[in-house]
Structure formats: structure tokens, C-alpha cells
Structure 1
């Protein structure tokens, strides 16, 4: 128990991992979906033919991952630094964020491809 009489609960490693990885994944998903849809809308407004939001979202995936991780190269520099210092806990957290951001961006491109092919 803590000083106020409230018991301390162990939330589990998977909840902590989800709390760390979920925001970047959803951010990358939103960037990919929004960028694909707004890019297609802009293409249509410009009169450049039939827009393909899935193709635009596919090209935005890298930038969605970079934005979700907080910058293009700073996150990769942190991962390299943790590899050199052998900090496995922080390294695993950074790799989970990278993986979640990639999966979010990939899911956004997949959703727009499925919506556009029907």
C-alpha cells in the first residue's frame, strides 16, 4: 500500500507496451488515411483525372511513420544509441513504437486500397 491507503496495482507489461505503442500507431494510421483522402480530393479538384487514394496513401507510409515517431531521424538515432549502450528495455520500447507506427501506416494504405477497389 502507498501512503494514502491505496493499493498499488501491477498493470502488466502488455498494458504498458500498448500504452506506449498505440498512440504512434493510430497517429500513423490517421496521417495515412487523411493524406490519401485529402490528396485524392486535391487531385480531383485540380482536374487531374480519377483520384486513387490508395496509391497516394501507399506513397505516404514512410512519412507517416517518421511523423508518428517524432521526426525523421531522431528516433533512429535513439535506437542506434540504445544498441550501443545495451539498454534493452528502452530499445524494445523504441522498436515497439517503430513497429506500431509502421503497422498503422500500412493499415491506412490497406484500408484505402480496399475502399478504392470496390
Structure 2
């Protein structure tokens, strides 16, 4: 069970890191490109959510395929674990977006 929780926590922080890192570095790029960096950071944090999920899960096709195989094979416990991994990555990406909004004092 230790591997399950470590993977869950890892997915959470990978997704959050993709959103935070991409938004902050995108804001730096917007600054050098003479665009408003805070607007770019807010926009990027929303756009990077789906890519954060993909990065954290290692590719959505593998996760969906695994989900299908476990449900059709009657291994509901494994399917439940995959759902927890997906939710963990989603919450990590969402928390990253909320942190960016908080950082730039946007609406939460």
C-alpha cells in the first residue's frame, strides 16, 4: 500500500509543479515579450491544467487503457486506484492554479 500513496502524492505534486512552473516562467517570458505578465500567468495557469494532468499521469491513454482493462477484468480495486491517481493529479493542478491566482491577487 506504500507504493499507492507515494504515487498518489507524486501525481499531486507533479501536476501542481507543472502549473506553477509553467505559469511563472510563462510570466517571465511575457515580461520579456512586453506583454502583461500577470495576465499571462493567470491565462497560462488555466491552460496548463490539462497538460499537468497528462504529465502527472504519464499520458492519459495509458491511464484510460488501464482503467478499461481493470473494469472489464473485474478488478475494481485497481480501477479505483487509477481513479484516485486521476483525482490526485486534478487536485494538484487546481491547487497550482489557485496559488497563481493568490500570488497575482486575481479573483479566487
Identify whether the pair has TM-score above 0.5, normalized to the shorter chain. Answer: yes
Q: Which 5+ residue runs of structure 1 have no aligned equivalent?
A: 1-12
> 2:5 maps to what in 1?
18
Distance 1:79 1:101 in 2: 16
* Deviation readout 1:39-93 (Å, 9 max, x if unpaired): 1111111112343212211110000001100013221121122121121121111
Are 1:37 and 2:8 an aligned pair? no
> 1:27 maps to what in 2?
14
* Deviation readout 1:88-111 (Å, 9 max, x if unpaired): 121111111101000000000010
The runs of 4+ residues in structure 1 deviating greater than 4 Å are none
Distance 1:37 1:50 in 2: 9
Q: Which 5+ residue runs of structure 2 have no aligned equivalent?
A: none
CA contact (8 A) 1:55 1:113 kept: no
Distance 1:35 1:49, change over 3 A: same
Greater share of helix residues, 1 or 2? 2
1:82-101 map, 5 Å: 82-101=70-89
CA contact (8 A) 1:28 1:101 kept: yes
TM-score (norm 1): 0.80
1:104 pairs, out of 89, 92, 96, with 92
RMSD: 1.7
Distance 2:43 2:104 in 1: 9
Equivalent pairs counted in the alignment come to: 105
